[in-house]
A and B are shown apart, each in its own frame.
Chain A
């Protein structure tokens, strides 16, 4: 076996490993890197003995067996060290481990009960092997793995210089998060499509991550819209909100009525006199809302409604366009729109499905709002 041949087959093996990596990219487990290196090392050993090629499954199995062998030596050596009341392993622990593993195949002097470990048969076999075998260094440079990343921990109360709010909280625990981060979620400008596109993924992630928060805020919006009932609506400090808004766009203060433009809502076709208008408005909303998740739809139309409890009723009566809650994606909007009442109400009740009884009031309010909104067709004349 010449060096040229060895290098060729190694290259071929490297390519195969690459292809295998590409194929297995999606299924990478935690140990893939180490197993791949083991495969290469085993292949090199086999090649040194005279094999010219391998079956992939055979190579995988042999590499797996080799890895298990290493782990078995480690386990046995560690247990012998622990048996001797030590935590760090010794060369004699390793030799004992090797003897245990070699007892299947057998080694010289195995039956000798009182033999010394340093003169054990396994050691002699190893010495002979090292003397005989030609040295084949590993083909690639391996980095030290696994790579240990530095974690940035949250500061504790003591580190931040704050005192914990209550006595029962020790100061070495991490700080509580800022109240703005769990306060109201903001209303956002719908016409600002660029930021919308940029923040869409963030929004979706946030929605997915914190399910309860939008739920809570949705409730609050409905309460703002529908009633003047005394429900806790967190106003928050204007200054704090402003500060938070600068750092986080999702915490921007809610829209004020009359200062910003809102999206034109879409009405069901039976409420519209002119079918052409409906199509136009449908197209507009489709492009706006096409790529959003279904769960975000009600929030879109919701956000166009500012949260001003006292003016709400007046605004509704004074020619403000009625809102259409749209559930589902853009393709389905036509279908959904034909039967808005039942499905919308169903969806709303689904949202509140697992809430406790205290929110039944808001359920009824939500239904009332939807009914109200669909009962004001004449105000859509300017569409």
Chain B
């Protein structure tokens, strides 16, 4: 008896989930994701994804947008944390550092949480002899 009711409940739950999913997919047609459909279709086609249903394309677009938003939010938090740390030390720099800039450093820290390792060049030399000793440069 108990098992039957629980089974019943789980079935109802599943129906609710399905209903929610269907409703969500329908609502996707109203919501325009920031990533355009053509771009998503192009890359999905490149990777072998075949589906004529546009709701799935929208689903992928929304999922990617959410992913990018999450990464950017983490990077923003890193940026703000850095700025607040700087402001604590020097009050006069408070005016200058109000702009929030997406830098490579914040981004690589944020992406590391998601399993993406982005290593960034710290500096670029402008000539092959940059940084060498003066003796070898003269040669």
A interface, CB within 8 angstroms of B: 34, 37-38, 41-42, 44-46, 48-55, 57-59, 61-62, 65-67, 69-75, 77-78, 87-91, 94, 98, 104-105, 116, 118-119, 122-123, 125-127, 129-130, 133, 135-138, 142-146
- Residues from chain B with a CB closer than 8 A to the CB of A133 are 65-66, 69
Knowing A105-B114, A144-B38, say if A49 contacts B50 (CB, 8 Å).
no
B32 touches A91 (CB 8 A): no
B102 touches A70 (CB 8 A): no
- Residues from chain B with a CB closer than 8 A to the CB of A129 are 62, 66, 69
Residue of B at shortest CB range from A60?
B104
Contact of B102 among A54, A104, A145 (CB under 8 A): A54
CA distance A138 to B38 in the complex (A): 11
The contact string, 1 if C-beta is below 8 Å from chain A, for chain B 75-119, is 010000000000000000000000111111011000101111010
Residue of B at shortest CB range from A127?
B24
Which A-B residue pairs are the 7 nearest by beta carbons? A119-B17, A74-B47, A74-B49, A118-B17, A74-B44, A104-B115, A54-B102
B56 touches A66 (CB 8 A): no
Beyond known contacts A88-B50, A126-B63: 18 more, CB 8 A cutoff: A34-B39, A48-B69, A49-B72, A53-B101, A67-B43, A69-B68, A71-B43, A74-B46, A74-B60, A75-B48, A91-B55, A94-B60, A119-B13, A123-B21, A126-B66, A130-B27, A135-B32, A138-B36
- Residues from chain A with a CB closer than 8 A to the CB of B114 are 104-105
Knowing A70-B40, A119-B14, say if A49 contacts B69 (CB, 8 Å).
yes
- Residues from chain A with a CB closer than 8 A to the CB of B54 are none
A70 touches B64 (CB 8 A): yes
Of the A-B pairs whose beta carbons lie under 8 Å apart in the complex, a sample of 6, sorted by A's number, is: A34-B39, A45-B65, A46-B72, A62-B72, A70-B64, A145-B38
B63 touches A51 (CB 8 A): no
- Residues from chain A with a CB closer than 8 A to the CB of B70 are 105
Interface residue SS majority, chain A: helix
Interface residue SS majority, chain B: helix
Total contacts A to B, CB within 8 angstroms? 190
Knowing A62-B107, A75-B48, A91-B56, say if A49 contacts B64 (CB, 8 Å).
no
Residue of A at shortest CB range from B10?
A116
Give the contacts of B15-60 with A (CB-CB under 8 A). 16-18, 20-21, 24-25, 27-28, 31-32, 34-36, 38-40, 42-52, 55-56, 59-60
A51 touches B43 (CB 8 A): no
A73 touches B65 (CB 8 A): no
Contact of A69 among B14, B20, B64, B100 (CB under 8 A): B64
Residue of B at shortest CB range from A82?
B48
A49 touches B14 (CB 8 A): no
Q: Does B137 count as interface, using CB distance less than 8 angstroms?
A: no
- Residues from chain A with a CB closer than 8 A to the CB of B113 are 105
- Residues from chain B with a CB closer than 8 A to the CB of A122 are 63
B64 touches A142 (CB 8 A): no
B39 touches A41 (CB 8 A): yes
CA distance A53 to B101 in the complex (A): 5
Residue of B at shortest CB range from A140?
B36
A45 touches B47 (CB 8 A): no
Residue of A at shortest CB range from B48?
A78
A37 touches B36 (CB 8 A): yes
- Residues from chain B with a CB closer than 8 A to the CB of A73 are 44, 49, 60, 63-64
Contact of B25 among A65, A88, A91 (CB under 8 A): A91
CA distance A207 to B25 in the complex (A): 60
B39 touches A71 (CB 8 A): no
Q: Does B8 count as interface, using CB distance less than 8 angstroms?
A: no
